[in-house]
Structure formats: C-alpha cells, structure tokens
Amino acid sequence: MTETATIVLDIGKSNCKLSLLDAAGQLLADERCPNAIADGGLYPHHDTTRIWAWMLAVMGRFSRLARVGAIVPVTHGATAALISADAPDGLALPVLDYEFKLPADFDASYRAQRPLFAETCSPALPAGLNLGRQLAWLEASYPAEFGRASQILMYPQYWAWRLSGVAAGEVTSLGCHTDLWNPSRRDYSSLVETMGWAAKLPPLRDAWARLGPLLPELVAATGLPADAQVICGIHDSNASLLRYLVGQPEDQARTVLSTGTWLIAAAIGGSAEVLDEHQDMLTNTNALGAPVPCMRFMGGREYASLAGPELAACSEADLARLIAQQTFALPCFAESGGPFAGREGRIVGPAPANPAERAALATLYAVLMTDHCLSALGANSPVVVEGSFTANRFFGSLLAALRPGQPVTVSDDSSGTTAGGWMLARWGQSPVPSETAAQALDLVDWPGYRRQWQALLSQS
C-alpha cells in the first residue's frame, strides 16, 4: 500500500473531483461528480449534503488504496458558508450560488456601502460574484439566521472545518473579488468594519497550515487514518499558481492561464496600474499574500455554449475554413462577468455547418478573448496554459501564432489545481512544471482575422 498519500478535494463551478496522489504527486485515482445547484428552498444554493455524502463514500474507497496523510480542500471563489454549530450540516443558511441574480432594488443600497475599486481592486460584478454583496443581501433578507451564524467561512475552509472541526480564514479566497480584502494593506477592507462582520471572521491561517486531524467520527466512517491531517485549503485558480511561486525567483514574471469554467489570466510580476474595473480586471491575492493582476472571462462556459452539446473535435481544416469564410463569434455567451459583460453574443458571417465547425468557432473565440485579456493586462511574460483547455490541441498553438516573441507553453498536467493542492500538503516541495512548448499554428490570414474581429468588437 502506498504511504502518505494526499487527497485533494477540488470543487469547481461545474464539477467536483476527489484525487488521490502519492508521495511524489502522481495520480493514483480520481472520481468526479457534477456540481449541480439545488433550486429549491430559500434560493439557489450548493447541494452541500449531496457533496458531503459523495465525498465520504469516495474517501472510503481511497482509504483502501493508500495510507492517506493529508486532505486538502480547493474550491471556486465568490462563495462562503455561514456556520451555526447547532445545525445538522453546520449551516445557518444554505450556501448561496454566486450566479443567482440578487434583487435589482438591493443594488443601490449595496453600492453605497461597498469600497471603491482603488481600495479593493475588486470590480463591481453581476449576480453574487462580489461575495460582500451576497453577505449583505443574506443579512438584510434573513437577519435572524444571519445573526445566529457564529462564523463566516470561505468555501475551502468550510470543507476544512467539516473535516477537522477547526475554523480558519485564508487570503486567496478573501482576496478574490469579494470586496472584503484590501490587497495593498494585506488586511480586511473597510466593508468588514462598516458591516460589523469582523467578529464572525475566524483567525487567518496559511493555505498550507495543518488545522488538525480528521474528526474521529469521520475516521470511523471512511477508514482513513486517525492522524490524517486536514489542510486549510485554497481558492482554485490560486492553486494553479503555486508551482510558479514556490521555489521560483521572486522577480520572475510569468503569466498563468488557469482554464476551466472560468479562464483567468494571472500576470505574476505584473503591474496593477493597468487594471480597469469596467473590463473585469482585478487583483487576486496569492497564497503568499501578494496581489496578482488578473483578467478573466467565462471561457469554459462560453466554449460550451458555442460548441454545443456534441463535444466534437475540430480539425485544422475546420479552423482554416471559418477564417477564410469570415465567420466570427462576438462576445459574450455567458451572463457572468468578463470584459464584455452585458453584451449579447452573436455570430457574424456564415453559420457553422456542423459540430466540428462549431468546435472550431469556439476555439477561435476562446483564443481571441484570451489574447485580448493578455494585451489589456500588458502581460508580455512567458505564458503557460493550465487546466481544461490543455486538452484542446489548437488553443496553445493558435495563441502562440498571435503573440510572436512571447513563449507559450502547455502544461502536461491538465489540473494545476490538483497539483497545487498536493503542494499544500507537502509545503516546501515544488514539482518541476512539466510543459510542452506550443508551436505557432500559422493559418492563412489568422492575424488578419484577429484584426477584423477587433474591428467588429469596436463597432458593437
């Protein structure tokens, strides 16, 4: 039986994954399930009961494969749990889905309370993507339940608390467009004081901190060792940054494209002076507490919308045909965030004729949007692609063709979040990033197609 393995719980916006990794960070097993939103009850919310039951069952299966030394929660951002110890699942209120459209008449009151972008580097976002807005609405709408909550836990730390019984705060989730964090001061923003929430926020711990062993009743339920340690945990796109932070020169610039439901361009070593709050530009806070200029759009969601349900593959010929016939996809094809939020996506030119052409159009669109984000960020450093878009064999090579002189590499590990979670359990160890250089795909008039796409954007 493999010794001292690590379990990484990775809750993305679309899917949940549990991975079992050995002492060298090699994958031993993984299991997945959809992260379906529950629409019943007070409001759309995360089905934490279902996730918990699934998690314990999978951990039980993993316990028979390896001796587990640590469990690390990694989750999407803009999500928090209000803790009430006397509730069966520990929740004073269900965990709100950040895509829920909060009432429009609440906007004016929250705008009067939220700090300026200059303080938080957190842009005003739709629905519940600003976590402070979620919390303010919950407090106004359910004052009794909110008042009973003893703790406000970021989503990774909610799962860490359920596993260990220890409540903690952590900067990567706090510093993720929440309105709750001041990145320059590396402390809570003025909103926390204005709203009187400080007493509900637990002490800050490092993402790699060991909160304690697995609770005894969970040891009995899963068969995991009694000394398995629960790690504090981290925001998912920040997990993808870890191997480019730990063991690297502090002044080494690198731009990481964390891809999944969201595509986030994170410019390590970049300048916050270029940030424009109206283009969904922001700073995230990395695990070491430093601000990282970022720009993002809902890349995976938009790709799926354009490509359709068939999930077909496209060929170089499909890409070339769409470029030649001047078929363009103009943003945006998701309602949540991005530099063109509020615009309705549309296709200009001859419509894609089949699933392969739809996949080709989705690929061209994702590359052009990524290129736009890199240029807006002033991100001229080497680019590495992490996450689900590593499976698209044209994404990196098309991007490289648009950015000559800026190396683009594609990670050989499709889950930077999983690797980052493993690093937290073995803090100080940094796996050598395994990457393949993307060779520029010089399709006829590809740069010209970009210029025409940009011109169409400016006319919209």
Which whole-number Å values give the CA distances from 168 to 10, 82, 152, 160, 231, in the listed order? 18, 13, 9, 8, 10
Q: Of the CATH numbers 3.40.50.10800, 1.10.30.50, 3.40.30.10, 3.30.420.40, which one belongs to the domain with range 238-459?
A: 3.30.420.40
CB-CB contact of 292 with 270 (8 Å):
yes
Q: What is the pLDDT of residue 310?
A: 86
Q: Cis peptide before 332, with omega less than 30 degrees from 0? A: yes
CB-CB contact of 92 with 151 (8 Å):
no
DSSP string, 11-79: E-SSEEEEEEE-TTS-EEEEEEEE-PEE-SSSS-EE-HHHHHHHHHHHHHHHTTTEEEEEEEEEE-SS-
Rounded distance, CA 252 to CA 243, Å?
13
Asked whether this chain's domains 2-232 and 238-459 adopt the same fold, the reply is yes
What pTM, to 2 d.p., does this model score? Answer: 0.90
**Residue-level pLDDT, tens digit, the chain, 460 residues:** 556 899 999 999 989 999 999 998 999 999 999 999 999 899 999 999 999 999 999 999 999 999 999 999 999 999 999 999 888 789 999 999 999 999 988 988 899 999 999 999 999 998 999 999 999 999 999 999 999 999 999 999 999 999 999 999 999 999 999 999 999 999 999 999 999 999 999 999 999 999 999 999 999 999 999 999 999 999 998 998 898 887 666 557 889 998 988 999 999 988 899 999 999 999 999 999 999 999 999 999 999 999 999 889 999 999 999 999 999 999 999 987 789 988 999 999 999 999 999 999 999 999 999 999 999 999 999 999 998 999 999 999 999 999 998 999 998 766 788 989 999 999 977 766 678 999 999 899 999 999 999 999 998 7
Residue 316 phi, psi (nearest 5): -60, -35
One-letter amino acid of 162: R
Rounded distance, CA 86 to CA 295, Å?
40
Q: Which residues pair with 37 in a beta bridge?
A: 46
Length of the chain: 460
DSSP string, 277-343: GGGTEEEEE-TTS-EEEEEEE-HHHHHHHHH-TT-----HHHHHHHHHTT-EEES-SSSS-STTTTP
Domain boundaries, the chain: 2-232, 238-459
Rounded distance, CA 402 to CA 406, Å?
9
Which whole-number Å values give the CA distances from 457 to 146, 232, 346, 421, in the listed order? 44, 43, 11, 39
Q: What is the pLDDT of residue 414?
A: 66
Which superfamily is assigned to 2-232 in CATH? ATPase, nucleotide binding domain (3.30.420.40)
Q: What is the pLDDT of residue 248?
A: 64
Rounded distance, CA 403 to CA 370, Å?
11
Greatest CA separation for the chain = 65
Q: What is the pLDDT of residue 290?
A: 93
